[in-house]
Amino acid sequence: MNTHPKKLLVLIGEYALEKFLIRDAKRFGAHGYTIADVRGGGSHGTREADWEGSRSIRMEVICDPEVASAISEHVLRNYCANYSVSMYVTDVAVLRPEKF
Amino acid sequence: MRLDPVILFFLLGFAARFWDSDLKLPEALYETLSIYLLLAIGLKGGVELAKHPMGTVLPQAAAAMAMGACLPLLAYPALRHLGRLNGFDAASIAGHYGSVSVVTFAVGVSFLVKREVAFEEYMPLFVALMEVPGIVVGILLARMTGSAAAPAVLARPAIQWGALAHEIFLGKSVVLLGGGLAIGWFAGPSGLEPMSPLFFGLFKGVLALFLLEMGLVAAARIGDFRRAGPFLIGFGVITPVLFGAIGVLVGRATGLSVGGATLLGVLAASASYIAAPAAMRIAIPEANPTLSIVTALGVTFPFNLTLGIPLYHEIARRLIFP
């Protein structure tokens, strides 16, 4: 199996940020993304997704290291002060590097 | 007088959550029910609107909108000076109270129908029109006074007015209420006849289910009462009573009946928890959403449903239309 190294950037945050995160990810060069509805809790309280005000999303972006770092720095700068956001980056291996 | 059974559904949901029952309605059902209610209320109002001359309705509608824009201006100084909240939180909460709660309105209608009190049936128009002005005024308050309070170290991203206007004017509640009004107005009673078993016949049952869910959601806010503090809990009870009386007065001044003035009081007293939280989260990210949601949804909403609506009707009947 011939694999290629990429980064997986995972952002977990309030649903209110979804539109902005998609726009930002594309702007910084991500080719694609996957979003799922999730629920959970942390230092900002619990978000149970029981009504529209407490919806959360998990967004996954597989991309080059520079793109992951540009997106995550933008998110840190613009959203993390006022919104509940968790972020992490891991190494992944993909089969078709041109797709990401 | 016995409680309206829809309120009992709300209390059931509230109690279930309070005692930690595992009862939970799927989020998709919550979404479906709220879409249904918004559309049904809009359709009904649209059909009735077509029967009334615009010359009567428009001045009343303009007064309702102006009232929605003025209410946050009353709430803001109280929140800022009596409650000692920062400018962002005060502006955000004030905006929630300037906007309206559609479900509180629906329960108000149900209250009047049960008591056979007549009201102007085109009032859903006012609901649609009163959603937005209060939110806009809340945002402007935050822009004008909040910026001075912002710590300079925080890089402040420029506000995205395009995205914000989109969120406010194309939010689901405005689209569905406004769209329902337009469809009802164009189609007329005969055009809607084939749909009336769904949209009008099932309305009360759907409202009951939705209130069961809202009971669960409202009771889930109790955990945040400590964070809100006693001032906001008091604010959540006193503000609707004052605003409700103002609404009834405006209703009387613009020539509404006792029932219509009661409903305008209900609208003035209610606080938005669909349109406002979504818009405020984008427009005033610095505001702590927990505070506005606990106050609007955890305190004012249950208060209006159980005690507020009968109170505003009594204010209308005894004090303002003696």
User: Taking CB atoms and an 8 Å cutoff, what residues of chain A touch B24?
Assistant: 50
Indicate yes or no: CB of A52 within 8 angstroms of CB of B281. no
Angle at CA B258, nearest 5°, toward B253 and B260? 80
Q: What are the beta bridge partners of residue A9? A: A61, A89
Indicate yes or no: CB of B290 within 8 angstroms of CB of A45. yes
Residue B155: which of A55, A77, A83 has the nearest Cβ? Answer: A77
Closest chain A C-alpha to B286 CA, distance in angstroms: 6
b/e map B148-160, b = 16+ CB within 10 Å: eeeeeeeeeeeee
Q: What is the pLDDT of residue B6?
A: 94
Q: What is the pLDDT along chain B (322 residues), one digit of tens a residue?
A: 678 899 999 999 999 999 999 999 988 899 999 999 999 999 999 999 999 999 999 999 999 999 999 999 999 999 999 999 999 999 999 999 999 999 999 999 999 999 999 999 999 999 999 999 999 999 999 988 755 544 443 444 556 678 788 888 888 899 999 999 999 999 999 999 999 999 999 999 999 999 999 999 999 988 888 888 999 999 999 999 999 999 999 999 999 999 999 999 999 999 998 889 989 998 999 999 999 999 999 999 999 999 999 999 999 999 888 7
A18-53 pLDDT, tens digit each? 999 999 999 999 999 999 999 998 877 788 888 888
Indicate yes or no: CB of A52 within 8 angstroms of CB of B282. no
**Ranges assigned E (strand) in A4-84:** 4-14, 34-38, 40-42, 45-47, 56-63
Sequence spans of domains, chain A: 4-99
**Angstrom distance (rounded) from CA B217 to CA A46:** 13
What global pTM score does this model have? 0.91
Which ipTM did the prediction report? 0.86
Q: What are the beta bridge partners of residue A91? A: A7
Q: What is the DSSP annotation of B156-194?
A: -PPP-HHHHHHHHHSSHHHHHHHHHHHHHHHHHHHHHGG
Residue closest to B236 by CA, chosen among B132, B53, B131, B83: B83
**CATH class given for the domain over A4-99:** alpha beta
- The architecture that CATH gives domain B5-16+25-148+160-320 is Up-down Bundle (1.20)
User: Taking CB atoms and an 8 Å cutoff, what residues of chain B touch A77?
Assistant: 155
User: Taking CB atoms and an 8 Å cutoff, what residues of chain B touch A24?
Assistant: none
